[in-house]
Structure 1
Amino acid sequence: MTDTLPGDSLRTQISHADLDYDHPAPRSEAGMPVGNGRMGSLVWTVPSALCFQLNRVDIFGNDFSSHNFYERNTDYCGGAGFVNIDFGDMVFGGAGFRQHLSCYDGAVTVQKGDVRASVLAWDRQDVMAVQVQDRRRSGASVHADLRMLRPAAVHRGDHRAESAVKVQGDRIVLTQAFREGKYYCGSAVVIGAEGCRVKAEQVNESTVRLYTEPQAGKPFSFFMASAAGFDPGEDLVAAAMHKLDAAQQRGFGGLQSDTRGWWHRFWQRGTIRLHSTDGVADDIEKHYNYYLYVMASASRGRYPAKFNGMIWTTGGDTRQWGGLYWGANQSCLYNALLPSLHPELLDPMFGMYSDAYASYALAARQQWGSRGIYIPETGAFNGVPALPDSIAREMRSLYLMQKPWEQRSRAFRNYAATQMPYFSRWNWTAAGKWVDGRWVAPDRGGGPYGPVTHIFSRSAKIAYQYWQQYEYTLDTAWLRRSAYPMIKGMAEFYRSFPNLKKEKDGKYHIRYVNDNEPVWGGHNTAEEISAMLGILPAAISASKILGVDADLRAGWKELLQHLSPLSLSAAYPEATGAPTWVKSLPPVVKGNGRALPDPNTLPQWFFDLCNPGAPAARLKTANATYDAYFRQGIGPRTSIYVLSRLPVAGAILGRADAVRYLIPNQIHTKEAEIMANRMDQREGRQTTNVQRLGRAAEALEYALCQSAPPEPAGDPVIRLFPAWPAEWEASFTLRARGGFLVSAAQRKGRTAYVKLVSEAGATCRVLNPWPGRAVTLYRDGKKAGALRGRMLTLSTGKGEHLLLMPEGTAPDIR
């Protein structure tokens, strides 16, 4: 009982998100994305060829233990190999060119004259397939080139990157192997063809070629299979060959049927439909569906898609910001998936963090002298490495401000000199340079501080996402197995953190911490106080649900009861106007503590502290703080940054102007060049991504349906269209906390209906969508009485379908 459309209508709706080019992409980064969530490529053309860089989410040139990437932006990941399908002639130049991405089918077609190519990524195996229809009479042959991303052997210290190409029967093969100390990662790409005669040949040290001799006028296909792994004993070529065998047995038509079926089921789960007379709402819908397409194409593997390039790099596997994950940027991609109908796309994120739990627990002890866990703002796919005991002891004393920075030992300096400078624990390292053949990198001048060194709220945000996922499902098995260890770990980290202490005012204060990147060494920062105000109630509630850790629960309650409040501008004598939240109380090592909270993170809004129903005084401060970001008001020309959460916060506060202007302005931001494929490279070289679309998607979902509690870990309340412009029409199906699917429509400024599916059998609380009117309730299609009042409270059974209509109206669900 979701708000779905018939097949043809659904195809029409989703097709609004398609990409359609009438001329070749002007650059490879503007190619069209095709992927199965584990493997993918942008698809672009040069005059004679169809081009790919095959990428995977699970290829990493190094891991957390590396000592050879002390230059910024030199660590790398993702790339498996270059592929060109060459037509031997300038087939893709001039008029009559068309390239089309169908989001509904998950496929790209390229056509010019007598040449047509169809591209897909098979959902069942890691195989991309290209069907070619070539009706030219010129006799020009078509061949596929498979080429290395780098020279055959690249050495950096004891890091080895070795690539090799070979011919194996009538197939061509490219392998990669990355080794450093005990670390290994390898990959293999194998290409074969069907529907034609083939001949495989090694062109040179870096390239192998597959020639084809197709039958006149008949289509033929290339199949590109890949595999990757971290076990040096695994035969990755054999694994890729097995996938290729399966693909060729199924044939292009079978792969196309399978892949279309997967994508059609994906879209049939439910949709968001938007319309406004000026077309702005329609444009938001188009970009929302495109965001979902890109995420489904890139986030179904073992690891989450990386913010900086995802699986869409086209110039090799080096990229700005390297191979580490940045928590704030990752949140742009993943936050909007929680209320969406595709929570499985979050599995790679949760899986990566859960798999690295032991390393986070060790990092908390070694680096900070805390119990629980510490997940750094920037870290590797496999977590945080162990430190030698002597280095760990000195690190604690330095980072906790117990030992002067100037007194760090030579051993500590030498150990730090070869570490990755973007890794949180070493981010006090400034940009370096080569001097007389030696890499010299000074510190940033803030002692042990750097932009991401002393951030703990990222750990809490990740743990809180586990809690929110539980709230959306009420799956206690998942809570016990996956979520609670993270939630408990963060509550215990804060409770035992050495620089969180009860001071003379009887309140706990946290000192010597960052407020995201701009403020270093602050006091009671917005990030950390917000994080504790959110994670502690979640830990208390989760432990009660599971019936565990009553002794710890008492400590968490005591900390929460005596925690310092969120810091206010009134702490600064020069402050004027209505009190607002600020980044930090003084003293601050570096940065402007009295500035407004970081608009890219807005922790008060993330941790459910500003939801409708929150204490009136807090909401007054929330609204004053929000207004302070927009001294000139919000309008059509209000600029909004790629990473900004201000549209999200505005939607949570019920600001229709934030939705009307900030969401479209973020989608079409002037802060980055938006390419023809609707992606941007705001993060720098080789960082093709959809961060801004993820932020806009999150704001859209909150504008349509909010289900958060008035306080962290409270009882969720469903609110329909809380920030939706009255003149815009909308219908949707989204997930709601409490284990509900919610479908509703707004027409001419009024809610037309509300449908609910109870997936967990929980009590449902709905703010009356028709204030002052009675509501007719239908259960499983049968009238079940009337409801009255501002808050409608319904008991539900698991799997039960409910319909709410204003009294006196007949069901009219269109």
Structure 2
Amino acid sequence: MNTHKAFLLGLALLGTSLVKAQFAMDAYKAVFTAPPQHVPTTKTPDAPLAGNGDIGITMGGTPDKLCFYIGKNDFWRAYPVYPGGIALPGGLDISIDELRGASYYAEQLPGSAEIAAKFSTSRCELKLSAWVAATDNKVIIELESDKAVTVRLRLWAAEGNTSITAHGIDKVMWVSRSFENTELLRWPTHVALALNSNTDKLSLTPGRKMQLVVSAYTNHDTPDWKKKAITEAGKVTESVIGQLRKEHHTWWDNFWKQSHINIGDSYFEKYYYQSQYLFACSSREGKFAPGIWGPFVTRDEAAWGGDYHLNYNYQAPYWASFSSNHISLTDNFDQPLLDYMEAGRKHAQELLNCRGIYYPVGIGPKGLCTAMWPLTPEEMLDKYATRENTIDGGYKFLGQKINAVFSVGNMLMRYYSTYDEAYARKVYPYLVACADFWEDYLSLENGRYVIRMDHFNEVMPNKRNGGVWRNRLGDFNSTLSLGLVRMLFQGVMDMSDFLSVDRMRQSRWKDILEKLSEYPLGIAEDGRQSLKNMERGPQNKDVQASGLNRVSIHGLILPGGVAGPVTDAGFNAILLDDVAHWVEKQREPNDWGNTSNNGIETCYPGAVRVGYPSDKILSYLKKRIEMNVYPNYWIVQGGGGIETFAAVPLTINEMLLQSYEDVIRVFPNWNSEKDASFENLRAYGAFLVTSTLKQGKIQGVTVISEKGRICKIENPWKGQAVLLMRKDKKTDVLYGEYLQIPTAVGERIELSLYTKP
């Protein structure tokens, strides 16, 4: 029996008990049999992980000298240049001499959202549980030994990098770390960690569990951040921990109830659920959005500052959450983008004489730009082989005008998935500001709108090119840009209609959509028609058609959503043929799509959407995962971090359900000979869809309509009549390739194959 079937059977047998339900989901656990080798790191840790979407813990070290690194999404060194960005608050060291040379066994449990470990020597056996309270700013570490041992504790704050640290004992141990009063700092950040102990040496006796609790607060949580951390640590009792555990289990139990899939493949199901666990540990409603490495920061100077990288890294981690019905995890996405609008308007006006907003490649929270060039010519020469540090006013745009629009894709995914009016009103000004910019920036030439000097790839000086880079400027009609601009204007028109605003502007937007240049095609080296990265390259040179790839997928498919088999079957056939030739272009034997550096969460679901066979995709995906993955199920790539959490869930979801082309398609790209089912996947139109495929036949489709919109669905039983049943048992028989079904708010409808009485 595969693990998902065991999970469902477990729920049926064990009833509603939250504790018992968590053990069923814990069947998808990750197992560690050796201490982590990549902790601390500036990139991806390979250790057991837990988190609550704000605070993350990374369990490093060896059994006798454990180190829990405590990261927090809102602890930033708010510099406009690297090495600013996300910083490490500190951690807790736990030392037990009797465990020197102990065996190592740990589990990362997605159901209970905890790290469970057991370390053994001839002198003692220690059991450990560590979790971050889902509803509070507390890390809980529980220790239990079969022999009397001494536990030495060190609560510490990371030091250096212009920070100020302090420590003390005020009934409990506490440490603090602050970034303040330095010349470049845009805003101060303070953090305090407090431990529910006033001594650094404790005795652990058999049969008695030791409960260590670290309370963590920043000035972004509360003005009384230090007092709050100390006070909360001092209030810890067994009953407090018991209540936190109850709330913790309830939160995670509700999270896992939001959707399910069963594909009869325990390998991919484990990655599916572990990936969602890791992202739920990284992102939470009402908290700062996660950067490139989420809250799993184990040292300062994280790669790329751990910032919000706007040309895909920031957006991609969220993509699977929309279709997986984990909408609350996406709630923090928009605020950094809205906070940067004032600066974005200045960039547009001062640098390009355009209205609207123009964003650099990297930003942070609270209106912070993280991506300025080094502030002196000497630093610039050292890092980028040129003294010219005033490129684009000193900001890293890297030749790209599209960074602000990239995030519109996520906003539209949430809007189309929920039709939440309050959300639409919140983000609509951002979409309009993007539209303002592109109304001004587009050029109408020979009856069509064209895009000049918005580059398909990043263009910048570096040591590899000797600081010479301007000869690489000049992209004309980048496929990335054409796709995202088309997405923008279609989206702003849809939202304008929904909110009944700006109707007078729609004629201009329609004109742009009608006259925007077509996606460039050409003849590939093997003589077939293929996609080009751009219509013409630098110095107005022709470019070879190189086919669909990660960057062009961003414009056309994810997050663009402007191409597909329903939208334009002929164009989609060209893209599908391009994907079929990826195997000939892979640079490494197991790297189909060339995603070792970036793009596993883009290329694999992109291939699904254009219709490449699912079995082949999964075969290639498994090889790519095994090429570089850590025991914590974090798929590793060179150019980014938590975006890989979306790779497996999004790929599977798109195989089971698609809706991005204004039509719901059930099992659109799944091998019909393989049984599969899904429950409450979210479709555009604010629909929750459930269906089962068994013995080659779709058994039925259930749709819950949240907003009472018309449900347009591709006939699941092609060429046959469909029986529609509503809640009141009223039935109707439907015919056709596409079924358009009026629904009411909250209504549940059921579709099945119609058989004549």
The structural deviation recorded for 1:352 is 2.0
Q: In structure 1, what is the equivalent of residue 72 of structure 2?
A: 56
Distance 2:676 2:231 in 1: 47
Q: Determine which of 759, 770, 774 is the counterpart of 2:717.
A: 770
Give the distance between the partners of 1:361 and 1:446, measured in 2 at CA.
Answer: 18
Residues 711 and 743 of structure 2 are in contact (CA less than 8 Å); yes or no, is this contact kept in structure 1?
A: yes
User: What amino acid is aligned across from residue 486 of structure 1 in structure 2?
Assistant: Y
Matched, 1:654 2:611: yes
**Deviations 1:286-332 (Å, cap 9, x if unpaired)?**
1011111001111015322222x222232x22222224321222233
Partner of 2:469: none
Determine whether 1:83 maps to 2:89.
no
User: Is structure 2 residue 451 aligned with structure 1 residue 483?
Assistant: no
Name 2:244's counterpart in structure 1. 255
Distance across 2 between alignment mates of 1:56 and 1:531? 32
Q: Secondary structure at the match of 2:89?
A: strand
Contact 1:199 1:212 survives alignment (8 Å): no
Question: Are residue 172 (structure 1) and residue 171 (structure 2) matched?
Answer: no
User: Contact conserved, 2:354 with 2:440, CA < 8 A, in 1?
Assistant: yes
1:507 corresponding residue in structure 2: 448
Q: Is the 8 A contact 1:451 1:517 kept in 2?
A: no
Quote the residue 1:134 is aligned against. Answer: 145
What SS is found at the alignment partner of 2:688? Answer: strand
Q: Which residue of 1 aligns with 2:664?
A: 718
Q: Provide, for residues 106-145 of structure 1, a one-character-per-residue CA deviation record: whole Å limited to 9, x for no partner.
A: 11122234322211111221110111213313xx321320
Match 2:56 to one of 40, 58, 66: 40
Task: Give the Cα separation in 2 of the matches to 1:117 and 1:590.
Answer: 63
User: 1:125 maps to what in 2?
Assistant: 136
Equivalent of 1:8 in 6, 11, 14: 11
Aligned equivalents of 1:590 and 1:102: distance in 2? Answer: 55
Contact 2:305–2:370 (CA under 8 A) maintained in structure 1 = no
Which secondary structure state, in structure 1, belongs to the residue aligned with residue 75 of structure 2?
Answer: strand
User: How many correspondences in the alignment?
Assistant: 711
Aligned-pair distance for 1:589?
5.5
Asked if the contact 1:663–1:699 (Cα under 8 Å) also holds between the matched residues in 2, the reply is no
- The change in CA–CA distance for 1:749 and 1:251 in structure 2 (over 3 A counts) is same
SS in 1 for 2:458: coil
Question: Is 1:302 equivalent to 2:294 in the alignment?
Answer: no
Q: For each residue in 1:724-761, what CA deviation from the matched residue of structure 2 results, as whole angstroms up to 9, or x when unmatched?
A: 12233221131000010011112223212211111111
CA shift, 1:598, in A, is 4.1
Partner of 2:592: 639
Residue among 152, 156, 166 paired with 1:143: 152
Alignment of 1:716-795 (within 5 A): 716-733=662-679, 734-780=681-727, 782-795=729-742
Determine the structure 2 residue equivalent to 1:321: 304
Whole-Å separation in 2 of the counterparts to 1:801 and 1:447: 54
- In the alignment, does 2:191 pair up with 1:188? yes
Distance in 1, Cα, partners of 2:220 & 2:247: 29
SS state at 2:165 partner: strand
Tell me, in whole angstroms, the C-alpha distance in 2 between the residues paired with 1:591 and 1:59. 47
Paired residue secondary structure (1:468): helix
Give the Å deviation of 1:385: 5.8
Structure 1 residues 265 and 610: alpha-carbon distance in aligned structure 2, compared to 1, 3 A threshold: same
Return the match for 2:411 from 463, 466, 470: 466
Q: Does 1:517 align with 2:458?
A: yes
Deviation at 1:800, TM superposition (A): 0.9
Displacement of 1:703 in angstroms is 1.0
Give the deviation of 1:786 after TM superposition. 2.0
* Partner Cα distance (1:86, 1:271) in 2: 40
Deviation at 1:342, TM superposition (A): 0.6
Deviation at 1:556, TM superposition (A): 1.5
Partner of residue 322, structure 2? 338
The alignment's C-alpha RMSD in Å is: 3.4
Deviation string 1:3-28 (CA, Å, 9 cap, x unpaired) is 99466366566334211223433453
Q: Secondary structure at the match of 2:453?
A: strand
CA offset digits 1:229-279 (Å, max 9, x no partner): 259x9332112124334544743333222211211111112211111xxxx
Aligned equivalent of 1:546, options 493, 499, 504: 499
Distance change (3 Å), C-alpha of 1:166 and 1:758: same
Report the CA distance between 1:80 and its aligned residue.
0.8
- 1:521 counterpart SS class: coil
Distance in 1 of aligned mates of 2:603 and 2:629: 20
Partners in 2 of 1:535 and 1:133 — Cα distance?
A: 56
Q: How many angstroms does 1:575 deviate by?
A: 6.2
How many Å separate the matches in 1 of 2:540 and 2:635? 31
- 1:474 and 1:773 mapped to 2: Cα distance? 31
Structure 1 unpaired stretches of 5+: 155-159, 201-209, 276-280, 388-414, 422-428, 710-715
Is the Cα contact below 8 Å between 1:659 and 1:700 reproduced in 2? no
8 Å contact 2:133–2:140 — kept in the other structure?
A: yes
Q: Name the SS for the 2:181 alignment partner.
A: strand
| 1:326-345 alpha-carbon deviations (Å, 9 max, x no partner) | 12222331222221111111
Q: Is the 8 A contact 1:583 1:596 kept in 2?
A: yes
1:302, 1:352 within 8 Å by CA — same for their partners in 2?
no
One-letter amino acid of the structure 2 residue matched with residue 225 of structure 1: S
C-alpha displacement at 1:722, in angstroms?
A: 0.9
Q: Kindly provide the CA deviation profile for residues 456-515 of structure 1, in whole angstroms up to 9, marking residues without a partner as x.
A: 3332221132122111111122212x2211221111111012xx2212x22122212211
TM-score, normalisation: structure 2: 0.86
How far apart, in 2, do the equivalents of 1:35 and 1:649 lie?
30
Against the structure 1 CA distance between its residues 491 and 326, is the aligned structure 2 distance closer, same or farther, given a 3 Å change threshold?
same
Question: Helix, strand or coil for the counterpart of 2:491?
Answer: helix
Secondary structure of 2:708's counterpart equals coil
2:301 is aligned with what amino acid?
A: T
Contact map agreement 2:309 2:361 (CA 8 A) in 1: yes
- Displacement of 1:525: 0.9
Q: Indicate the residue corresponding to 2:210 in structure 1.
A: 220
2:499 partner amino acid: L
Note closer, same or farther for the CA distance 1:619–1:224 as it changes in structure 2 (3 Å cut). same
> SS state of the match for residue 79, structure 1?
coil
CA shift, 1:84, in A, is 0.6
Sequence identity of aligned pairs in percent? 20
Partner AA of 2:309 in structure 1: W
5+ residue gaps, structure 2, are 13-20, 40-44, 460-471
- 8 Å CA contact 2:172–2:230 kept in 1: the answer is no
